[in-house]
Amino acid sequence: MTITPEAPEPVVTATDPIRSSNAIPTPSAPPPDILRCAYMELVVTDLELSRKFYVDVLDLVVTEEDENTVYLRSFEEFIHHNLVLRKGPVAAVAAFSYRVRSPEDLDKAVAFYTELGCRVERRKEGFTKGIGEAVRVEDPLGFPYEFFYDVEHVERLAWRYDLYTPGALVRLDHFNQVTPDVPRAVKYMEDLGFRVTEDIQDGDGTVYAAWMRRKPTVHDTAMTGGDGPRMHHVAFATHEKHNIIAICDKLGALRRSDAIERGPGRHGVSNAFYLYLRDPDGHRVEIYTQDYYTGDPDNPVVTWDVHDNQRRDWWGNPVVPSWYTEASLVLDLDGNPQPLVSRTDSSEMAVTIGADGFSYTRKDDEDMPEWKKGEYKLGAQL
């Protein structure tokens, strides 16, 4: 193996290169010790239809269900659920839930968010079945975050190959959130104990998105610039790439291929193989596999140029406009949708496609083949 000198385009830096001019003050109280993203509570408008999508099409495992709620988990999970579908009037996200290291971390969460001036609710009996004592907050960015330690253990189905389907989802991998001011969001998340692994910027220092982790993968959640607070997607992992292809093939066989919004493809950011689906309410679900280990404290941060056409799809396949513009509402602790705040920084879609934007495959090479030109006009024309 001889390594040729040609370096990949993204810049690798020793530390997170994002600075906020509009920072939320760091609380003096220490943050809770978060282990990982654990589950999302989704409000869906037609439970039967949603159940079909998540259970019959995506083959998530039903841990428990009742008339209004379905509790789902992935094949390698041993906690009660990774996804809750709850019937409700407005499609939205009721909670982004993280598991913490110990019961005492709930006290820390309360102190941390109280000091931030956030609305905080603690429930001994938890907010959903299978989860014990938990804290929910409306965080400084407007997102409903939950923290819990106590949870019901269920069978880890990792070895149950008699139950696997070709597209088996084995882990919850991450959340992705839409927020107007990415550097501000990153600073708050770093205070909460997260670390940046990759980000997208332009030459002027505008940050378009940042990926942040607790567990040693590329992310537990990402902050995507846009009108927010909104939920961009929730992502489940498969073992191999062919599992993701199998999901596409099954959607085709079911004549539900229009649930595929983008991909499959290879990400530049994260290096993972991906697919984006839309559920019956339009909630976006990513299927994801094979990012890399990030657990060292000096894990190199990868910063991508927003104009690098391979940042979001390593093969240069176009990101469809809806992927940039559509996202799910999030609820406050009373169950009402949070109002949106508009992004004032540049929009990634605007600066990369259409009349006002540009993308390159090779830096300083303006040549674009004929067959690619049509694709990048698309944004401006819509």
- Which of the residues 325 through 354 are near its own copies (CB under 8 A)? 326
Q: What is the dihedral of CA 79, 197, 33, 95, to 10 degrees?
A: -50
Instruction: Determine the interface stretch with its own copies among 129-137, 234-242, 329-337, 338-346 (rule: CB under 8 A).
Output: 234-242
Cα separation, 319 vs 343, in Å, equals 20
CA separation for the pair 76, 79 (Å, rounded)? 9
**119 or 129, CB closer to its own copies?**
129
**With respect to its own copies, which residue has the nearer C-beta, 165 or 346?**
165
Choice from 21, 22, 125, 161 touching its own copies (CB under 8 A): 161
Strands (E), the chain: 11-13, 34-44, 61-65, 69-73, 83-87, 92-100, 120-123, 134-138, 144-148, 171-179, 195-201, 207-213, 221-225, 230-237, 260-266, 273-278, 284-289, 301-305, 328-330
Site for its own copies (CB under 8 A): which residue of 16, 146, 191, 261? Answer: 261
Closer to its own copies by Cβ: residue 86 or 372: 372
Shortest CB 216 distance to its own copies, Å? 6
Q: How far apart are CA 369 and CA 50, in angstroms?
A: 42
Among 133, 215, 333, 346, binds its own copies (CB under 8 A): 215
* Token pair 């390593």 in the structure block, residue: 314
Q: Which CB, 52 or 119, lies closer to its own copies?
A: 52
3-class state of residue 30 by DSSP: coil
Contacts (CB under 8 A) with its own copies, residues 89-118: 99, 101-102
Task: Determine the size of the site formed for its own copies (CB under 8 A).
Answer: 99
Distance CA 82, CA 302 (A): 29
Distance in angstroms (rounded) separating the CA atoms of residues 163 and 245: 19
Return all residues near 335 (Cβ < 8 A) that are at least 6 apart.
Answer: 88, 94
Binder to its own copies among 66, 67, 125, 162 (CB under 8 A)?
162
The stretch among 22-30, 225-233, 344-352, 370-378 that binds its own copies (CB under 8 A) is 370-378
Question: Given candidates 27, 132, 321, 337, which one binds its own copies under the rule CB under 8 A?
Answer: 321
Closest CA to 317 of 283, 347, 276, 363: 276
Q: How far is the CB of 3 from its own copies (least distance, A)?
A: 7
C-alpha dihedral sign at 109, 114, 119, 120 = positive
Among 25, 49, 254, 336, binds its own copies (CB under 8 A): 254
User: Applying CB under 8 A, does 193 fall inside the site for its own copies?
Assistant: no
Q: Does 245 bind its own copies (CB under 8 A)?
A: yes
Ranges within 13-72 binding its own copies (CB under 8 A): 14, 35-36, 55, 59-62
- Among 18-26, 118-126, 154-162, 192-200, which window interacts with its own copies (CB under 8 A)? 154-162
Task: Give the contact letters, 280-319, x = binds to its own copies (CB under 8 A), - = no.
Answer: --x-------x-xx-xxxxxx--------xx---xxxx--
Judged by CB under 8 A, does residue 204 bind its own copies? no
Helix (H, G, I), strand (E, B) or coil at 264: strand
Six token digits for residue 110: 């309360």
Q: How far is the CB of 340 from its own copies (least distance, A)?
A: 17
